[in-house]
Amino acid sequence: MEVIEHVNEPLIFLRELNSLLKPNGLLFLSTINRNNYSYLMTITLAENLFGIIPKGTHDWNKYITLEEMQNYLNEAGFSLVDCKGCYYNILTGNMNLINNTRINYILMAIKN
């Protein structure tokens, strides 16, 4: 999960993934949304304050907004099928899909 925000060229990465899929193949992908709230939650709190994630794991400039992701998907030959936010409960260790994509999101796309 959440690999693409660590890739230097997301469009090239998505094109490579497209080349590995058969026609109508499904792509499942997640990433962190780029906004002030996601910075607060993932870098300020998770990395720097609570140490849940090692410091320096994330680069906020590499986070991808949902609009940017939709453009990348279209340019790479995919169509977005569905998108949900992910919520991780640090107390229980459970992760759930939610309708809010403010922090991060997981999507399903189909190869055109």
Q: pLDDT tens digits for 1-36?
A: 668 999 999 999 999 999 999 999 999 999 999 999
**Residue closest to 101 by CA, chosen among 91, 111, 87, 89:** 87
Q: What is the mean pLDDT of residues 69-94?
A: 94
Q: What pLDDT does 30 receive?
A: 94
Q: pLDDT tens digits for 56-70?
A: 999 999 999 999 999
Cα→Cα distances 38→31, 57, 103, Å: 11, 14, 5
pTM (2 decimals)? 0.90
Residue 72, H or E segment: helix 66-75
The answer to whether the CB of 44 falls within 8 A of the CB of 34 is no
CATH architecture of 4-111: 3-Layer(aba) Sandwich (3.40)
Average pLDDT, the chain: 94
